[in-house]
Amino acid sequence: MLPKRLIVGLISLCLMIRCTGGNERCGASIRGACPPAWSRWGDKCYKQLSEDLPWAEAKQECIKMGSVLVMPQSQEETEFLLKNLAPFFRINCNDLQVEGTWVCQDGTTDVEYRNWREETGEPNNGAGGEDCAVTDKSGWNDVSCEFHAPTICKRPAPQLHF
């Protein structure tokens, strides 16, 4: 019987085989470990910045590190981040273009997932100027984009070709 650790290791490798059919050669790639100080969930890596930043700066800092400002695509992803990285954090969601129309993007992917905190009527555009969003365990809240919120950056786990 295979040792349990080995089985877990194999499962976590997320093996992907690419074949282009016919006589073309096949290639394979695996997702490698996250860089030091980055946390792994699925095939993604996450890191919290040491400084809390306004939305625009948070986006830029993540890009500088070859990543994007985090936008969770599910409750499971959100829970991993709340538990392992920060009890609340900024998400890449805003209604800057059209008040009340929220655009949430994970990199360039539009995200449909929503988790507004209902008890306090979020998003409530409090004081008429809440166009960015943060999340904690009770859900999302719209806040000022200038608010210095904990920032998590996200990037794919490095892909190794062989």
Q: Which residue ranges make up the site for Ca ion (CB under 5 A)?
A: 95, 122, 124-126, 130-131, 141-142
Residue 150 beta carbon to Ca ion: minimum distance, rounded to whole angstroms: 17
Among residues 106 and 142, whose Cβ is nearest to Ca ion?
A: 142
Among residues 94 and 151, whose Cβ is nearest to Ca ion?
A: 94
Among residues 43 and 52, whose Cβ is nearest to Ca ion?
A: 52
Give the span between the Cα atoms of 63 and 10, in whole angstroms.
31
Residue 96 beta carbon to Ca ion: minimum distance, rounded to whole angstroms: 8
Is 13 exposed, middle or buried (CB count within 10 Å of its CB: 0-12, 13-18, 19+)? middle
Residue 155 beta carbon to Ca ion: minimum distance, rounded to whole angstroms: 28
SS (H, E, C) 13-56: CCEEEEECCCCCCEEEEEECCCCCCCEEECCEEEEECCCCECHH
Count of Cβ atoms closer than 10 Å to residue 108 Cβ: 6
Residue 1 beta carbon to Ca ion: minimum distance, rounded to whole angstroms: 54
Among residues 111 and 133, whose Cβ is nearest to Ca ion?
A: 133
Q: Which two tokens stand for residue 41?
A: 């969930």
